[in-house]
Amino acid sequence: MNDQLNATHDPNLQSWIESANDPQTDFPPQNLPYCVFLRDGVRRIGAGIGDRILDLFELSAAGLLPSVLTEPLQSTCLNALMGADLDQRQALRAALCGLVTDRKSALAESESLQRRILVPQNSVNLELPATIGDYTDFYASLFHATNVGSMFRPDNPLLPNYKHIPIGYHGRASSIVPSGMAVRRPSGQLPPAVEGAAPTFGPCQNLDYELELGFWVGKGNRLGESIPLSSAEAHLFGVCLLNDWSARDMQRWEYQPLGPFLAKNFASSISPWVVTMEALQPFRCEAFARPEGDPQPLPYLTDSRNERSGGIEIQLEVWLSSRKMRDQQLPPTRLSHGTFAQMYWTAAQILTHHASNGCNLRSGDLLGSGTVSGPLRESRGCLLELTWNGEFGRPVPGNQRTPLALPSGEQRTFLADGDEVIFRGWCERPGMRRIGLGECRGMIEGAI
């Protein structure tokens, strides 16, 4: 599963940029995630290193990066770079790694170049990293699907198709927003208070987050062509953190028979950093081991390499800060901690299934993993699960809820106005350098 490691993954690499050598930094030289930032009113492509951003427009203009990528690197979004050939992307990663680790590199030895190219992260605004043409959200956690199914269908939590097919729906790309942008509480139709009564229209009362990973599509496929699982990894560019905000009461009323609509498309927040699949290579693991008796995937979703290394050990956390907590100068409190390695379907299977009918994926398309939940209460990836007092797979009569207690003395079953939700993600493994995904933040504002 680590058959593609190279010199850029060497855990002993150190940078002459001192902040990149902090053991807890998300962005050591082994990571080098991409971003788009605003500099002097112009969008630039950058790469994170320690607490700095490498301005790739300036680096390419100085002739320090592969010339074949000059045009993509001088673009205002990552789409063209995402669509580059894998060998070109690997050459760029190697060049960047050399520039920040070799004390005799042209960048290390030139203070004037450093002033042009090294940008403090806290001095610029980070933008959406790509122009997102399409966004599809999946439902890839068996634990999440079983918990939610147990709440609403106690006798039949999982529908018959779940273990055969990656379930997904097409979301709304236009309402995907960058980390830090406030999210308005949506209004919509709410279910009748009693059976047989009329619905009402008003602000969502059961606003929730969903902890997910977003996978960025690299090279796409032509309309009418599929992507075999054996080559699916080559079509994945990288990952980000994704918060699929969800209006649970609106969702409960509208989702039948066609699935999510207004309860999901009012906003989705993503982190600004794109951690490449190449950077994640040391943290690949076996695909989730299906429980005994579960059906094996159909042949088009089966591949020995995917079974061997289709999973990714990414640790994920959810933190919450209420307005009252901030007033009392209390730090955010952690709500959950899980791992992406426990997802039932791999990213490659999701992408292959998406294209199996000839659907044309394009560079910069975003695929959501679905809520990342695990078998333990503390690994549940949304409040819908966290405040439900059942254990995995065991429905509780009445579906009673147990509010979460916050350090301020408040309680939560769902989100309140002024709540800020913070996602964090990172990878670590003995013998390898820790890398991080940064943060995805969003604060709830009052209703529309």
The DSSP letter of residue 398 is G
Residue with tokens 């906003």: 267
Cα–chain center distance at 286: 20
H/E stretch holding 444 reads strand 435-447
- Taking a C-beta distance cutoff of 8 angstroms, is the pair 218, 310 a contact? no
Token look-up 């956390």 returns 317
* Cα separation values, 245 from 69, 265, 296, Å: 36, 8, 32
366 token code pair: 């975003």
Q: Is 353 a catalytic residue?
A: no
Beta strand extents in 67-219 (DSSP E only): 118-120, 125-126, 135-138, 168-170, 176-178, 183-185, 187-190, 200-203, 207-208, 211-217
- Residue 386's nearest CA partner among 193, 151, 138 is 151
Q: Which two structure tokens, joined as six digits, stand for 63? A: 């002739």
Give the three-state DSSP class for 100. Answer: helix
Residues 6+ apart with CB under 8 A from 312: 239, 280, 283, 284, 285, 340, 341, 347, 427
Q: Specify the DSSP element, H or E, that contains 349.
A: helix 347-355
Tokens standing for residue 139 = 């439902």
Q: Which of 144, 235, 353, 354 is catalytic?
A: 144
Tokens of 33: 């995630």
Residues tagged active-site? 144
